[in-house]
Amino acid sequence: MVHIQHLKKGDILVKEGESSNNMFWLQSGTMRLFKKKGNGFIELGIVHSGEVIGEMSFLDNQPRSASIEALQGCEVIEIPRGNFEEFLGTQPSWMKSLIQTLVTRLRSTNNRLRELESASTVYARDDEGKSTKIHEFLSNSEIMKLCSTLLLVSSRNGEKQADNSFKVKAGWFQLYGNHIFGVPLAKIQAFLDTAQDVNFIKIDRQKDHVDLFIYDPTKVEQFIHWLHEEHVKADDKKLVTSAKGLAILDAIKEFSEISKAANGETFSVDMEQVFQKAVLAKNLKYPFEMAAMEELVKDDISAELRVSGNEKTAVINLPRFRKLHPMLAFRQRFRDLNAQKRNEPA
């Protein structure tokens, strides 16, 4: 009997290494194939509606060679081994031999190709200052490619809106990002979700298509240049503001009047007041670590914290704050994404 499975975004259909007693036909939706590599993953491909999944392991009785995850809501028809073998029993004997030969050759080819696959890696320093290799789901190079794709589609395919944003069909972005720049579709979707989180874009899903609204191409271009400059700097010249320092910048933007400040060189912020507002709004005992102000001082975003009684005053370098805060926020979202992917179970 054929069984239909309904999957939500993020649901795993099969896991690498599992036994394979069935194959699947993807009736609707999109899925990704990925393989565990150290602490990260190799993206192997995308499966679209109308395609068969898991046929190779099914046909040669080998364990699953990859995991399969739903990228959106999916309907999958499961084809049990018994049903298929019953059908195969009605076919000429050479048909079974032909299928087995093709599967063996295809698996051999895939194994050779996968030996050449390598996860994106970077060198990072641990707490002791030692350099170690870590996996990146989205590398700096891929991030810059996809940011450049935003610029490309906004200029060539975008419709300027009344608020000066650019509306473009997501299909154009996927075409350039995937087919021209070679970034896997799973990474493209993760990039778009992240860009929306920091208000670089808006994703508008319609019944038959998806639109992107690119708010400010100039801001995207600035991020590309900034990310490249940071990437090529010597380690001792790079900005040190981490997620802890960024939490302070986020709180300053949300719980002070800095967004309303007139153009100028500095802006004074009562950090104790910001801290207390953040405690109430976020229902957290410690919404940020005041000690991380040292990072902002080193990066010339703030002067040393001035303490007088219960007052803690930070004198913010306003031009640096306005320039760096959105850049640091966007980069941190990608760092969080990469950390999440490294820690995901296979």
Residues 184-199 have pLDDT tens digits of: 888 899 999 999 998 9
CA gap 127, 145 in Å, rounded:
31
**Domain covering 239-343 in this structure, CATH number:** 1.10.10
Q: How many CB atoms lie within 10 A of CB 180?
A: 11
Q: Is the pLDDT of residue 84 over 80?
A: no
**Confidence bin at 340 (pLDDT 50/70/90):** confident
CA gap 161, 140 in Å, rounded:
30
Each as own residue / partner, the long-range contacts of residues 112-121 (CB below 8 Å, 24 or more positions apart, any chain) are 114/35, 114/42, 114/44, 117/35, 117/37, 117/42, 117/44, 118/37, 118/42, 119/37, 119/38, 119/40, 119/41, 119/42, 120/40, 121/40
Structure confidence by residue, pLDDT tens digits, 205-227: 888 889 999 999 999 999 999 99
Domain formed by 3-116, architecture: Sandwich (2.60)
Structure confidence by residue, pLDDT tens digits, 242-258: 999 999 999 999 999 99
Q: Which of 271, 277, 346 is nearest to 313 (CA)?
A: 271
Q: What is the DSSP string of 249-267?
A: HHHHHHHSSGGGPPSSSEE
CATH topology for the 145-231 domain: Arc Repressor Mutant, subunit A (1.10.10)
What tokens does 225 get? 């240049």
* Residue scoring higher pLDDT (201 or 62): 201
- Write down the pLDDT at residue 94: 63
Q: Is the pLDDT of residue 107 over 90?
A: no
**Confidence bin at 122 (pLDDT 50/70/90):** low
Please, what is the average pLDDT of the chain?
84
Q: Is the pLDDT of residue 298 over 50?
A: yes
**Confidence bin at 21 (pLDDT 50/70/90):** confident
What tokens does 45 get? 């491909």
Taking the domains of the chain in order of start, what are their residue ranges?
3-116, 145-231, 239-343
Give yes or no on whether 145-231 and 239-343 have one common fold: yes
